[in-house]
Amino acid sequence: MEPLTWTGSLSGLNFIFYIVLLLLVLTIVAQLLFSLVPSGGARAVGADGTLADDQGVSGLINLVISWLFYAIIALVLIYLVGGIILGTGAGIFGGMARQMLPVWIALIITFAVSITYKRKLGLYGKLFDSTVGMIGFGIVMFWVFTGVMGGVFDMLITHDSLSQASGMKNKLPGTPLRGAEEGEYAWYLLGGDNLARDVFSRLIKGSWVVVLIAPLATLFAFMVGITLGLPAGYYSGRLDTILSFLANLILAFPVILLFYLLVTPEIVLTGIPNYMAAVLFVFPVIFFAVLLNSRYYTQPHIRTPLLVVVLGGLLWAYLSLITNDGFIVKNDDVTVYGIPAMIDWIPMPPEILVVFVSVVFVNSPTVFRIVRGLALDIKTRDYVAAAQTRGEGPWYIMLWEILPNARGPLIVDFCLRIGYTTILLGTLGFFGLGLESESPDWGSTINAGRRLLSLYPHAAIAPALSLLSLVLGLNLLADGLREESLRD
Amino acid sequence: MGIFILRRLGVMLLTALCLTFIVFWLTNLYPNLEKLAKNQGNFRMSDEAVTSYLGDRGYLQPMPVKFGQWLGVLPGWVTEREEGKTFGRCFDSDTPVDERPNRCGVLQGDWGTSTVFKDEVGSTVATRLALTGKLMLCVLLLMVPSALIVGVLAGMREGSKLDRSLSTFSIATTATPEYVSGVIFIAVLASSQFGISPILAEWGWIDGKTLFLGSATSAMADANFWNFFLPVLTISLYGMGYIARMTRASMTEVMTAQYIRTARLKGVKFSDIVLKHALRNALIAPFTVIMLQIPWLLNGVVIVETLFNYKGFGWLLVQAASNNDIELLLAVSVVSVVVVLVTQLISDIGYVFLNPRIRIS
């Protein structure tokens, strides 16, 4: 079989695509240059008192840009739809487009439903009023669907992410699989890596690692940061001094040194990550206990059953999370028993646990500082004084008066921080820390691919671009959310 | 002001002590010591051999004692072998008895010996730090001016097309960690088979095989544009976006101030308003951000030095950490902690000097 080209039978469009792209870039540059030179014509007054003209030459350029932009989108759509119809007939892009078909369908459904009901969906619905936010959300959801479908249900992948095929070592994208059997996918769409594994399938498998760990770790970091930051900001005084000192202490560590100290097999042996997990993961339980208790403690008939159910579930989850094979810590010196393996429903391999813990540990001081700052600001507001006069307890004020009013900046920071956590996970993989070397996650793949970078760049470039797009998507999403929440 | 600086120095000292103790504790855990002994001796050492190796070299003393010896406040350990040889932390068996010092630690100016490089820690760190200093200087020279220009251009007309394009650019750079941009740059600009180098070489536009060199090892002795630009660009790009966004925010705030409106109503030229009226006030906030960004650059330095094989301070950190070279790692962490805390101090003091509205009582 012939190796696939990038666009296959749609190659005729490539020339048009390049031309349109070139024109778009040129007109954007021209537009930027023209925006520096004022010209005659009708002028609009900006919010800050500046004048901007929207007709004349720059108006024409704007028109051209928008048409070229639509043309680019149309061409990309043709490539996509053509790829879905023709499959590998439309080259590597076609093959990938068809392989990703379930993701496209899920994306279209998500967007259609969200846009239809956007007025009823609060801040999430407002996101669909901002183009930047929509683009960011689209990219993020693309990777979320890819991660879930490929990582959990094994749907999108073409080959097993660990199996090696003979003669496929470092092969270029689109190389046909040597001796492909019936029912086996006949190409390595994005080529083979230095161990002759399929880069495309590993990319999709790796997205699941990122999509699973990054948001969860960020969520835990937020729980820790909020539970400690609110009292630090609200009470101030000595508590604040001590907690801030500890936070600054962790922040003064270079992140990579901390990773090298925490995420090594030797440290895993001592059980330190398990103790840290036991401390850090208890914060969500405390958070929800205090949250519900402070709200309902005046109505014991609601409070007691509610707390029993919620805390029971959370404690079970907490114990399952930190227990592994019936033990919380097990080494030569110490053995701490956990819950029996039977009811341990969250499998947490030690190498994932240590990565998870260290990422939460690195992120929580920053969240603490943000929450503390917000609490310091908000506690001077009138509604807090009103609640104090009503005789509400301090935790009620912190969790039900201050926290909801700090949600805007916190949601934005949450999105940004997921991106940052993704970068941290990649850093860990890049230094070969934590996850096993055969793990398909993007950081480890980049690390494996960088040794042959100048000869066979495809094995490292594919995960690098994926990571870039996911973090960019999260940043754009955060930008869109910021814009929309400011408009409230 | 004097008391403020003194207090900050006190907190700094306390932080540095706590941090070094944490590093000391983590590196002195038994599995780490065992790994060290096997690395230094041989990998098939029996458990007894490991214990006697560690015991002889003072590794099995209680943690606070060892820490005190490293600091130089407690006398160093001394081991007497059965055959009559005596050696200790501060001397080896050849040193004459009356020249043997009692204490040797950081307070005495002795940073110990590196087990990986078999050399004095002080001089090793100094040479590597000088190399990284060169890298950082180039990074700051590239990053700060370009970030400020991007930020000021974007912030002078909020919401304009220029603002939108430059803001998108800065978001994109903050979303590109060094190991991603470095990989892309090497593949596109420094590969003899891929990217634009083969095309340029075919057209005869470049002399060598590649546009840039993908490894910066040669830049340690003799840095030039060809072998040093890619690492510098890679670090600068990631830090740039953040500074640019902060500059933009500060610039947009200044541009809506009353005195700018007054200047505009008086008919001052727009370029004069930006350069003479707005710029000075807009640059106060970015100064703090730039100072606080320097510790962040340290992470980038570690990644980039590993990727481009430039044997500076970041590379030293990786070597020390992956071989559990305790005294080297301690020195490395002391240096990085001092960098973090000193930049924080400078940013606080500088902020007070730059902004006359803030006075510390």
Tell me the chain A residues in contact with residue B322 when contact means C-beta distances shorter than 8 Å. Answer: 260
Nearest CB to A446: which of B32, B183, B329? B183
Q: Does A275 touch chain B (CB under 8 A)?
A: no
State yes or no: pLDDT of A46 exceeds 70: no
Per-residue model confidence (pLDDT) at position B5: 84
Cβ separation of A450 and B307 shorter than 8 Å? Answer: yes
State yes or no: pLDDT of A199 exceeds 60: yes
Q: Does A111 touch chain B (CB under 8 A)?
A: no
Chain B from 39 to 58: CB within 8 A of any A CB:
none
Strands B78-80 and A335-337: unpaired
CB contact set of A39 (below 8 Å; sequence gap of 6+): A53, A56, A57, A58
Tell me the chain B residues in contact with residue A455 when contact means C-beta distances shorter than 8 Å. Answer: 191, 193
3-class DSSP state of A238: helix
CB atoms under 10 Å from CB of B256, counted, come to: 12
Measured between CA atoms, how close is B276 to chain A, in angstroms? 18
Per-residue model confidence (pLDDT) at position A420: 93
Tell me the chain B residues in contact with residue A464 when contact means C-beta distances shorter than 8 Å. Answer: 179-180, 183-184
Mean pLDDT of A87-91: 84
Q: Does A260 touch chain B (CB under 8 A)?
A: yes
Measured between CA atoms, how close is A479 to chain B, in angstroms? 9
Cβ separation of B191 and A457 shorter than 8 Å? Answer: yes
Cβ separation of B18 and A426 shorter than 8 Å? Answer: no
Measured between CA atoms, how close is A448 to chain B, in angstroms? 12
Per-residue model confidence (pLDDT) at position B158: 82
Task: Tell me the backbone φ, ψ of residue B88, rounded to 5 degrees.
Answer: -150, -175
pLDDT tens figures, A354-400 = 999 999 999 999 999 999 999 999 999 999 999 999 999 999 999 99
| Interatomic CA distance for residues B81 and B360, integer angstroms | 60
Amino acid at A42: A
Q: Specify the range with the lowest mean pLDDT, choosing from A343-347, A420-424, B139-143, B183-187.
A: A343-347
Cβ separation of A419 and B193 shorter than 8 Å? Answer: no
State yes or no: pLDDT of B307 exceeds 50: yes
Cβ separation of B165 and A262 shorter than 8 Å? Answer: no
Per-residue tokens: A79? 């490539």
Tell me the chain A residues in contact with residue B19 when contact means C-beta distances shorter than 8 Å. Answer: 249, 252-253
Nearest CB to B193: which of A248, A455, A460? A455
| Interatomic CA distance for residues B246 and B240, integer angstroms | 10
Model confidence at A86, in pLDDT bands (50, 70, 90)?
confident
| Interatomic CA distance for residues B102 and A2, integer angstroms | 76
Which of A410, A441, A474, A460 shows the shortest CA–CA distance to A219?
A410
Q: Specify the range with the lowest mean pLDDT, choosing from A179-193, A376-390, B91-105.
A: B91-105
Measured between CA atoms, how close is A431 to chain B, in angstroms? 8
Measured between CA atoms, how close is A51 to chain B, in angstroms? 10
Per-residue model confidence (pLDDT) at position A253: 84
Per-residue tokens: B81? 């072998």
State yes or no: pLDDT of A419 exceeds 90: yes
Q: What is the mean pLDDT of chain A?
A: 88
Model confidence at A50, in pLDDT bands (50, 70, 90)?
low
* Helices (H), ranges, B157-224: 161-174, 178-189, 197-203
Q: Does A449 touch chain B (CB under 8 A)?
A: yes
Which of A239, A320, A310 shows the shortest CA–CA distance to A278?
A320
Measured between CA atoms, how close is A306 to chain B, in angstroms? 41
Measured between CA atoms, how close is A100 to chain B, in angstroms? 24
**Which of B164, B179, B248, B293 to mutate against chain A (most A CBs within 10 Å)?**
B179
| Interatomic CA distance for residues B292 and B346, integer angstroms | 9
Cβ separation of B333 and A257 shorter than 8 Å? Answer: yes
Q: Do residues B360 and B4 make contact, with C-beta atoms less than 8 angstroms apart?
A: yes
State yes or no: pLDDT of B93 exceeds 80: no
Per-residue model confidence (pLDDT) at position A463: 93
Tell me the chain B residues in contact with residue A454 when contact means C-beta distances shorter than 8 Å. Answer: 186-187, 190-194, 210, 214
Q: What is the mean pLDDT of chain B?
A: 85
Per-residue model confidence (pLDDT) at position A434: 82
CB contact set of B131 (below 8 Å; sequence gap of 6+): B220, B310, B311, B312, B313
Mean pLDDT of A300-310: 92
**pTM, entire model:** 0.90
How far the first Cα of chain A sits from its last, in Å, is 59
Q: Does A467 touch chain B (CB under 8 A)?
A: yes
Q: How many CB pairs under 8 A join A and B?
A: 165
Q: Do residues B309 and B217 make contact, with C-beta atoms less than 8 angstroms apart?
A: yes
State yes or no: pLDDT of A40 exceeds 70: no
State yes or no: pLDDT of A54 exceeds 60: no
Q: Do residues B214 and B308 make contact, with C-beta atoms less than 8 angstroms apart?
A: yes
**Which of B169, B180, B252, B335 to mutate against chain A (most A CBs within 10 Å)?**
B180
Per-residue model confidence (pLDDT) at position B357: 67
State yes or no: pLDDT of B271 exceeds 90: no
Q: What are residue A53's DSSP bridge partners? A: A43
Measured between CA atoms, how close is A396 to chain B, in angstroms? 34
pLDDT tens figures, B164-174 = 889 989 999 99
Nearest CB to B175: which of A36, A267, A471? A471
Per-residue model confidence (pLDDT) at position B285: 81
Measured between CA atoms, how close is B84 to chain A, in angstroms? 35
**Which of A37, A65, A445, A454 to mutate against chain B (most B CBs within 10 Å)?**
A454
Q: Do residues A464 and A472 make contact, with C-beta atoms less than 8 angstroms apart?
A: no
Could you tell me the sign of the dihedral formed by the alpha carbons of A376, A377, A380, A385, in that order? Answer: negative
What is each CA distance from A438 to A98, A426, A458, B72, in whole angstroms? Answer: 27, 14, 18, 45
| Interatomic CA distance for residues B179 and B155, integer angstroms | 29
Mean pLDDT of A260-268: 85
Q: Do residues B27 and B329 make contact, with C-beta atoms less than 8 angstroms apart?
A: yes
Q: Do residues A210 and A445 make contact, with C-beta atoms less than 8 angstroms apart?
A: no
* Helices (H), ranges, chain B: 2-27, 30-40, 47-56, 63-71, 121-156, 161-174, 178-189, 197-203, 225-255, 258-265, 270-272, 279-282, 284-308, 313-322, 326-354
Three-point CA angle A381, A366, A136, nearest 5°: 90
Measured between CA atoms, how close is B281 to chain A, in angstroms? 17
| Between B89 and A304, residue with greater pLDDT | A304
| Interatomic CA distance for residues A472 and A338, integer angstroms | 40
> What ipTM is given for this predicted complex?
0.89
Per-residue model confidence (pLDDT) at position B361: 45
CB atoms under 10 Å from CB of A185, counted, come to: 17
What is each CA distance from A294 to A226, A287, B211, in whole angstroms? Answer: 16, 11, 64
Q: Does A175 touch chain B (CB under 8 A)?
A: no
CB contact set of B202 (below 8 Å; sequence gap of 6+): none
Tell me the chain A residues in contact with residue B35 when contact means C-beta distances shorter than 8 Å. Answer: 266
Mean pLDDT of A330-339: 79
Mean pLDDT of B280-307: 86
Task: Tell me the backbone φ, ψ of residue A191, rounded to 5 degrees.
Answer: 85, 180
Which of B24, B7, B6 shows the shortest CA–CA distance to B334?
B24
Q: Does A269 touch chain B (CB under 8 A)?
A: yes
Q: Specify the range with the lowest mean pLDDT, choosing from A373-382, B1-10, B203-212.
A: B203-212
Amino acid at B74: L
Model confidence at A160, in pLDDT bands (50, 70, 90)?
confident
Mean pLDDT of B21-45: 84
Q: Does A296 touch chain B (CB under 8 A)?
A: no
Q: To 10 degrees, what angle do helices A407-430 and B178-189 make?
A: 50
| Interatomic CA distance for residues A413 and A173, integer angstroms | 38
Nearest CB to A256: which of B29, B252, B317? B317
Q: Do residues A175 and A192 make contact, with C-beta atoms less than 8 angstroms apart?
A: yes
Nearest CB to A256: which of B176, B252, B302? B302
Q: Do residues B258 and B193 make contact, with C-beta atoms less than 8 angstroms apart?
A: no
Tell me the chain A residues in contact with residue B51 when contact means C-beta distances shorter than 8 Å. Answer: none
Mean pLDDT of B242-254: 91
| Interatomic CA distance for residues A286 and A276, integer angstroms | 16
| Interatomic CA distance for residues A266 and B34, integer angstroms | 9
State yes or no: pLDDT of A39 exceeds 60: no
State yes or no: pLDDT of A18 exceeds 80: yes
Cβ separation of B31 and A267 shorter than 8 Å? Answer: yes
Mean pLDDT of A117-143: 90
CB contact set of A314 (below 8 Å; sequence gap of 6+): A284, A285, A288, A289
Domains and CATH numbers, chain A: 8-35+54-161+171-181 (no CATH), 201-485 (1.10.3720.10)
Q: Does A191 touch chain B (CB under 8 A)?
A: no
State yes or no: pLDDT of B232 exceeds 90: yes
Measured between CA atoms, how close is B104 to chain A, in angstroms? 26
* DSSP label at residue A315: H
Task: Tell me the backbone φ, ψ of residue A352, rounded to 5 degrees.
Answer: -70, -40
Nearest CB to B214: which of A32, A270, A454? A454
Mean pLDDT of A115-143: 90
Per-residue model confidence (pLDDT) at position B356: 66
Which of A144, A230, A222 shows the shortest CA–CA distance to A411?
A222
Mean pLDDT of B186-196: 84
Measured between CA atoms, how close is A201 to chain B, in angstroms? 20
Tell me the chain A residues in contact with residue B271 when contact means C-beta distances shorter than 8 Å. Answer: none
Tell me the chain B residues in contact with residue A474 when contact means C-beta distances shorter than 8 Å. Answer: 175
* DSSP label at residue A324: B
| Interatomic CA distance for residues B31 and B57, integer angstroms | 16
Name the residue in chain B with its Cα closest to that of A466: B180
